[in-house]
Structure 1
Amino acid sequence: MRSGSTVDEAVPAPVVVGYDGSAASRRAVRWAAHEAAARGTGLRVVVAADDPGVPGVRRTATRLAPLRLGDGHEAMSEAVALAESCQPGVTRGGVVRRGQPGGVLVDQSHTAQLVVVGCRGRIALPASESSTSLITASRAACPVVVVRGRVDTPRLDPVVVGVRVGDPVPSTVSCAVDVARRAGSPLVLACGWSADAGSLSRVPRPVPDRSGALATVVRDVQDHAGRSVERAAELAHRLAPGLSVRTEVLDTRAERALEGLSWGASVLVVGRGGTGPFPGLPLGRVTRSALEHAGCPVVVVPPDVPVEDVRA
């Protein structure tokens, strides 16, 4: 297979995986190769060469230095070989593009059904404003998987999806249903609630009763959380009538609830969320926390992905 080979437009959109030679990106390639096989589509390995060639700059196992163009082609060949060893015949092509990794993967997302990236432990905000996984998850046109935590999980470990207080996001629930159905795993719809600013912003202003204003706020937030997971469960049952679905309404902040559940999950699915603190990086608080602390791979779903697309 030649570097920079093109992908046949007549076949389904591929799973795209970013590779830079690091151990984290090798884990991402393995995960992506298995996912492409499960979806019955091809795998496109993408390498970003963000340095046109600086004398003395060398690639290392932890990807501390930018990839030069020549190193990029070598890395692409390594990744293609690794993917083919995991899932023979699944790889359709590999490309090397000049540019920053996050921007290159965002460009590739417009012709992909899924983008997979690795993660080297904690994503510390705001220092990691240039993190490849953060940029890709923030801007991609399709769902993004950040491969972190446990990867080789038992088949029956559930797929956990975060449901926000208020109206559940159909694309996020639908994506989680699709992941669970492919894996043959149960689905857990989880909503963490607490009387904090994040939850209160999505709950109508309460009318205090005899129990007092604070008790009324807590009661209303809890009620809205319960109704939110019920609506999400109804959607999940419509999309996949035979799927095992469980709901969890937890009296804690949403990010803490999802982090705890992620350590017993095969995949955690979250929406992209609201506008984050950095211009052009619209990730909500819960999503940023999941990318930093989750104990399993995290799927970040854009809000404008049509429901029928995530079920493809």
Structure 2
Amino acid sequence: MHSGSSVGESGRAPVVVGYDGSAGSRRAVRWAAHEAAARGTGLRIVVAADDPGVPGARRTATRLAPLRLGDGHEAMSEAVALAESCQPGVTRGGVVRRGQPGGVLVDQSHTARLVVVGSRGRTALPASESSTSLITASRAACPVVVVRGRVDAPRPDPVVVGVGLGDPVLSTLSCAVEVARRAGSPLVLACGWSADAGSPSRVPRPVPDRAGPLATVVRDVQGHAERSVGRAAELVHRLAPGLSVRTEVLDTRAERTLEGLSWGASLLVVGRGGTGPFPGMPLGQVTRSVLEHAGCPVVVVPPDAPVVGVQA
């Protein structure tokens, strides 16, 4: 357990947001304040202060020095003021903890309905294995929203959910359905099935009606993708019979499909997916890519998470 201090909160499990004073975390606080107000659960603000002397603790051209414990309460006051300016009365609690931000937010996720983080923290570098957003999305016990792209997209922009090749993941689909239903937005079930589209060394694709082993493989993979999206659509219609649903099955890599659609979406919902290259970092390649390149906020849903939705 990390040392630090907290202020009390009551009621249902809150929306939790991480704050470190960076531009990314300010956008996350604004997004989370509106989300908590929409859900009626209240907002818990979390400030993590690194131990003095941690590696990389100095300020550089691309990185702000990590918050020290003595500065944590000042940062908390800033975050509360920002949240209250967006949604008066939304803040139900605040926590200042000593430790790395990702680990602190993972700890907080066990008593949260949703964790919200910015896509960039006190470092301006792209997501790495040590980034707060990547660690939190990889290990949190509840869905995680990484706030990026257009945060104030006009409604009813669609909610896009990634569908993989195989059986639909219930937790991911259920979260996406709840988002779209509450926002009054259409739901887009998206699957990119090509493994080599966009590669510089790509082998020319066969004409679909031309005979041959490669053409057969292409047709099989495309058919598999269409069946996967079809099963997902059937499940969505059972969960929400009146919901407007569109499907997109595209001959591009899965991450490119989702990244392209995200620029016209209010929210992108993906499963955690894969196992990742390092123990304890269970993010698949597609999820890692959209966290870096999506044009809207991204929700990462753990496979065993309780079914919860977020406001688009």
Q: When the two structures are superposed, what TM-score results if normalisation uses the length of structure 1?
A: 0.87
Q: Offset of 1:12 from its aligned partner?
A: 1.3
1:40: which partner in 2? 40
**Cα separation, partners in 2 of 1:45 and 1:59, compared to 1, 3 Å:** farther
Alignment check: 8 A CA contact 1:195 1:221 kept: no
2:6: which partner in 1? 4
Q: Offset of 1:271 from its aligned partner?
A: 0.5
Q: Offset of 1:63 from its aligned partner?
A: 6.0
**Cα separation, partners in 2 of 1:218 and 1:255, compared to 1, 3 Å:** same
Alignment check: 8 A CA contact 2:17 2:117 kept: yes
Q: Offset of 1:53 from its aligned partner?
A: 8.2
Name the SS of the counterpart of 1:21 in structure 2: coil
In 2, distance between residues paired with 1:147 and 1:178?
A: 19
Greater Cα offset, 107-116 or 186-195: 186-195
Look up the equivalent residue of 1:249 and give its one-letter code.
Answer: V
2:178: which partner in 1? 178
Matched, 1:21 2:5: no
Look up the equivalent residue of 2:68 and give its one-letter code.
Answer: R
Q: Offset of 1:306 from its aligned partner?
A: 3.6
Look up the equivalent residue of 2:214 and give its one-letter code.
Answer: L
1:107: which partner in 2? 107
1:213: which partner in 2? 213
In 2, distance between residues paired with 1:39 and 1:60?
A: 39
2:291: which partner in 1? 291
Cα RMSD after superposing both structures: 2.5
1:304: which partner in 2? 304
Gaps of 5+ in 2: 198-209
Alignment check: 8 A CA contact 1:123 1:291 kept: no
Q: How does 1:134-283 map to 2 (within 5 A)?
A: 134-195=134-195, 211-283=211-283
**Cα separation, partners in 2 of 1:195 and 1:46, compared to 1, 3 Å:** closer
Greater Cα offset, 156-165 or 238-247: 238-247
Q: Offset of 1:66 from its aligned partner?
A: 1.0
Name the SS of the counterpart of 2:270 in structure 1: strand
**Cα separation, partners in 2 of 1:61 and 1:180, compared to 1, 3 Å:** farther
Q: Offset of 1:58 from its aligned partner?
A: 8.4
Look up the equivalent residue of 2:268 and give its one-letter code.
Answer: L
Alignment check: 8 A CA contact 1:59 1:67 kept: no
In 1, distance between residues paired with 2:253 and 2:260?
A: 11
In 1, distance between residues paired with 2:109 and 2:267?
A: 20
Q: Offset of 1:193 from its aligned partner?
A: 0.6
Look up the equivalent residue of 1:102 and give its one-letter code.
Answer: G
Name the SS of the counterpart of 2:291 in structure 1: helix
Alignment check: 8 A CA contact 2:35 2:310 kept: no
Q: Residue deviations 1:37-76, cap 9 Å, x none?
A: 111111000000113589xx88899861011112111101
Gaps of 5+ in 1: 198-209
Alignment check: 8 A CA contact 2:268 2:298 kept: yes
Alignment check: 8 A CA contact 1:22 1:62 kept: no
Alignment check: 8 A CA contact 1:21 1:61 kept: no
Alignment check: 8 A CA contact 2:179 2:309 kept: no
* Alignment: residue pair count: 292
Q: Offset of 1:237 from its aligned partner?
A: 1.5
In 1, distance between residues paired with 2:253 and 2:125?
A: 20
Percent of residue pairs identical: 87
Q: Offset of 1:182 from its aligned partner?
A: 1.9
